[in-house]
Amino acid sequence: MTERCEWCQDGGMMEKYHDEEWGVPLHDDQKQFEFLMMEAMQCGLSWNLMLKKREIFRQCFDNFDYKKIAQYDDTKIQEIMDTPGMIRSIRKIQAIINNANVFQRIIEEFGSFDAWLWGYTQGKTRVYKHHQSTPAARNELSDAIGRELKKRGFKYLGSITVYAHLQACGIINDHECRCFRYADICANYPVEFFD
């Protein structure tokens, strides 16, 4: 039997997300934006709900194409708000449009969002040994990145949300030690261990 992190064991969508995406080092700007957008939409809601609504998000937000999203106007916002099953938070939708613009500015400055974000760890996945016994919701890395994102104009991306993104995109390996993904990431990607 394959050992997995306890949080994902639903035999369905959460398990599939865990096995195929969560914590795997990600180096694709559009996918980074997708994950960030879903984190922003998730504020105050469950991640399970985000996964259930992912196809609706893809439909509403042009498959997470940040270049298109940055151009959205009031008509498009209303169209998104009127989509059946969509989370109807105009503030979150406006934040995503704003974030698409800021995201592009980082790409213009650094060549890619991915290069900028992974620059914080010199391209290595961090493994915090103490997280295995006491799971974290934020740390000094997410604090620093969250401050910088806020300074650059991102919305709905504080330290706790950023920490969740760092877990999702593989910058922090927070799989449980017994999980098959933990060993896979440590064996197949550049990692750095912290106490």
The neighbour count for residue 63, using CB atoms within 10 Å, is 12
Per-residue pLDDT of the chain (195 residues; tens, 9 = 90+): 799 999 999 989 999 999 999 999 999 999 999 999 999 999 889 999 999 999 999 999 999 999 999 999 999 999 999 999 999 999 999 999 999 999 999 999 999 999 999 999 999 999 998 666 677 899 999 999 999 999 999 999 999 999 999 999 999 999 999 999 999 999 999 999 998
Q: How far apart are CA 23 and CA 13, in angstroms?
A: 16
Catalytic residue numbers read 17, 39, 47
The DSSP element (H or E) to which 192 belongs, if any, is strand 191-194
Q: How far apart are CA 100 and CA 73, in angstroms?
A: 13
Q: How far apart are CA 26 and CA 172, in angstroms?
A: 11
- pLDDT computed for residue 136 by the predictor: 86
- 44 CB-near residues (< 8 Å, 6+ apart): none
* H helices present in 46-89, as ranges: 47-52, 54-60, 66-69, 74-81
Please state the pTM of the whole predicted model: 0.95
